[in-house]
Structure 1
Amino acid sequence: MIIESNDHEGAKVYEMITKQILQDLLLAPALSDLKAYVNPNEVVFIMAMKMKKTSKAKHLNEVSSSVYDPEKDLTTITINDENFLPNILKKLWKELGRENVHQPSRYIIELSGKKEVDNWVIDNPYENLKRRCYDAMFRIVPEGFKIIKDMSKNDIVAVVATDELIKDKWIDHCQKFIEELENTEYLY
C-alpha cells in the first residue's frame, strides 16, 4: 500500500484510516495492492485498488434443481445447498416479484408457469468484492469531495475525487496508478 501526499503527516493519517477501514470491512485479504494520492492544497484524492481473483459466479442450477409440471403449470425449485437460499430468494423476488414466489417448505420454492431460471446468476463473488471496494473507497474519500470520477478497469477499482472541477493531470495520475497496478503480480 502506497499513500502519496505533499503532507507527510497527512499521508500517515490516511494510511491508518485506510488500513482500519479495510480491516473493518474484511477487505485487506481480497486486495493485492492499493495506491492513493492525497493533496490538500489541490483538494484532490485519488485511489486505485487491485482486487485478487475471486471464485466464479454461481448459477441457480449449480445449487438447486428445477422441474416444470405442465399439468399444474408450476415450476418447482428444490434447493440442494441451503447456504444459497437467501441469494436464490432475493434473485427470484427481484426478477419475479415477491408475490409470485411461494415457499411451501424450507427446501422447495414454487413459481407459477414455466420459468427458465436454471442459468440465473445467484451469487457473483467478483461483483460482491467490487461493491465492497467501492464501499471502502467512499468511506475513505474525504468528506465534502462530491465530484467523483470512476476510472475502474477490469479488476482495478479506481476513483478521482475533489470538490472542484477534475483536472486532466489528476486523471493522468489515476491512469498511472491503474497501469502500475495492472503490472503488479498478486502478493499471496
Structure 2
Amino acid sequence: MKRILFSLWIPLVCLLGVCAVVGTAYGDVGSIELSGGVLAPYDVSGGDTSVGWQIAYAAGVTDHVEIGAIFMRTGNFEAENDITNGEVEISTLMLQTRWLFNPESTTRGFVDLAGGMMDLDPKGKATTSSRSGGAARFGVGVDQALTPHLSLRFSTGYTTGIGRTSEIDILDVSVSLVFGVRLLE
C-alpha cells in the first residue's frame, strides 16, 4: 500500500513542477532552482539524531514567492511504536511555498511552508512493512550567493507527521548547494 501511495504522489509533484516552470516561463518572473544537500534531523519525541539528505526544486512565481517540492530522507532513528521496536527511516515528499526576503541581494532570507506525505520504513523487527501519513513543515533559512547561478543554503525547520505518522516530530538543520537559472531577464 505504501508503494502505491508514494508512487501516486511522485507524478503529481512532477506535474506541479512542470506547470510551475511553464507558468513562470511566460509570466513576469521566471526562475527555476534545483538543490541538494545534507540533513541533520533530531527526533524531538525520541531524542535521537541521524544524518540524511534532501533534494528540492522550486520555480519563482513572483519576486518574493517560489513554489516547488522537497524530498527528504533521514537515516535510522530509534523508534518504539506499533510497527517497530527498532530503527526506522523517515521519508517525506512535500509541496513547498517559500517567501523570500531581499530577493535581489547576494544574501537572501526565506520562510517556507510545506505539506505532503511521510513514510515510515522500519529497519528492525516489524509487524508491518511500513506506514504512510501526512506531513507538514515550517522552515527558515538563508541563501548565500557564490556565483550568479550557484548559492549555498543554510536552513532549519520543524516537520511533523499528521494522522498515521503523528508520533513523528523532527527538527532539522541542513546545508544545500543550490543551482538556479533565471529564464526571463
Normalised to the residue count of structure 1, the TM-score between the two structures is: 0.26
Greater RCO (Cα-Cα under 8 Å, separation 6 or more): 1
Normalised to the residue count of structure 2, the TM-score between the two structures is: 0.26
Whose strand fraction is larger, Structure 1's or Structure 2's?
A: 2
Question: Greater CA radius of gyration, 1 or 2?
Answer: 1
Whose helix fraction is larger, Structure 1's or Structure 2's?
A: 1
